A and B are shown apart, each in its own frame.
Chain A
Amino acid sequence: MSDDTRKVAFICSKGDLDMAYPALVMGWAALGNGIDVTIFFTFWGMDMIRKTRQDHLQIAPVANTAMKLSMMGVKGMDNAGIPNLLGALPGMTAFATKLMKDKMAELGVPPVGEYLQMLVDGGAKLYACKMSVDMMGLKKEDFVDGVIDIVTAGDFMDMTDGAQIIFI
């Protein structure tokens, strides 16, 4: 392997379903282009690698001004939003989540756990943030197998020398 291999590093800080996919899609594309991929999971982003959480990520319709009725299949309603009050009703988060998961499945996009495993199999290196791990009282055993280690922000900077860093 030559030293001039392009490197990309993602910092995943969000635990919402919609925010889990950018790193997965771009990371997979990067691996497909022969680019070296490292992903650092911090704060809520650690839900993407927690065994008990990764396939239960959700998307909330509350305070998401871009989520419109048209996405729920109501035609011609590109600018009609879902009232926050309605979005706050019990079951609305589960409903929005199911909708998104169904759409992803239709497109042949794998669920978070399976997608992440594909990245690991393709050579992506996964790390959890030490400070977040300590704060949330987690252990390495709480994470899926592909996670190499729990590292500090400084370690992350060392291992991503020369990489393009994308914060999500």
Chain B
Amino acid sequence: MTTKTIAGKTVQVNDEGFMTNPSEWTREIATAIAKEEGLADLSASHWKVIDFCRGDAGGNGKSPTLRRITTVTGLSTKEMFALFPKGPAKKVARISGLGKPEGCV
């Protein structure tokens, strides 16, 4: 386990760079990670997904799979790939300060 300073705050991350303590997450951190992931501006739609993932994970830090995100939020797979290109579930998990999504669907 290592630490990393994001948006001026030191947080715990795992080998793959996912935050391991969801309570250390802030919205500023999300914006900073999004920039690292190539998303310069987070729109209201982005935040809707991020907030959903944070809520869905509860306190345990387990991020939802892409299928769960689309099924529950009503956003389509296409929209998710447009909002978070190249691996939406993984990308939004990282931005939301959650672990890598588990599950094959």
Query: Which of B26-34, B41-49, B87-95 sits within the interface?
Result: B87-95
Contact: B77 with A118, CB < 8 Å? yes
Q: How far is the CA of A110 from the CA of B88 in the complex (A)?
A: 19
Given known A108-B105, A109-B105, A121-B81, contact A32–B76 (CB-CB < 8 A): no
Contact A33:B90 (CB < 8 A) given known A108-B67, A122-B77:
yes
Tell me, yes or no, whether A83 is within 8 Å of chain B by CB: no
Q: How large is the interface on B (under 10, 10 to 19, 20 to 34, 35 or more residues)?
A: 10 to 19
B residues within 8 A CB of A25?
104-105
Check A122 against B104 for contact (C-beta < 8 Å): no
A28 at the interface (CB under 8 A from B): yes
Residues in chain A near residue B19, CB distance under 8 A:
none
| B35 interfacial by beta-carbon distance below 8 Å | no
Among A5, A31, A32, chain B packs the most CB atoms within 10 A around the CB of A32
- Nearest to A5 among chain B residues (CB) is B86
* Chain A positions within 8 Å of B90 at CB level: 32-34
- Taking the complex as formed, is B98 at the interface, i.e. its CB lies under 8 A from any CB of chain A? no
Tell me whether A153 is interfacial, beta carbon within 8 Å.
no
Cβ B105 vs Cβ A122 within 8 A? no
- A29 is an interface residue with CB less than 8 A from chain B: yes
Residues of A within 8 A of B88 (CB): 32
User: Restricting to B51-105, which residues have a CB under 8 Å from any CB of A?
Assistant: 66-67, 76-78, 81, 85-90, 101, 104-105
A145 to chain B, nearest CB (A): 13
Chain A residues closer than 8 Å to B78, beta-carbon distance: 121-122
Q: Residue of A at shortest CB range from B104?
A: A25
A121 and B76 contact, Cβ closer than 8 Å, known pairs A28-B105, A29-B104: yes
Complex Cα gap A108–B65 (Å): 11
Asked if A81 is at the interface of the complex by the 8 Å CB criterion, the answer is: no
Task: Give the docked Cα–Cα distance between A122 and B78 (Å).
Answer: 6
> Is A87 at the interface (CB under 8 A from chain B)?
no
Name the B residues within 8 Å of A109 (CB-CB). Answer: 104-105
**Could you say which residues of chain B place their CB within 8 Å of the CB of A113?**
none
Extra pairs beyond A28-B105, A34-B90, A121-B77 (10, CB < 8 Å):
A5-B86, A25-B104, A25-B105, A32-B89, A108-B105, A110-B67, A118-B77, A122-B77, A122-B81, A123-B81
15 A-B pairs in the complex with CB atoms less than 8 angstroms apart: A5-B86, A25-B104, A25-B105, A28-B105, A29-B104, A31-B81, A32-B88, A32-B89, A34-B85, A34-B90, A110-B67, A118-B67, A118-B77, A122-B77, A122-B78
By a beta-carbon cutoff of 8 Å, the part of chain B in contact with chain A is: 66-67, 76-78, 81, 85-90, 101, 104-105
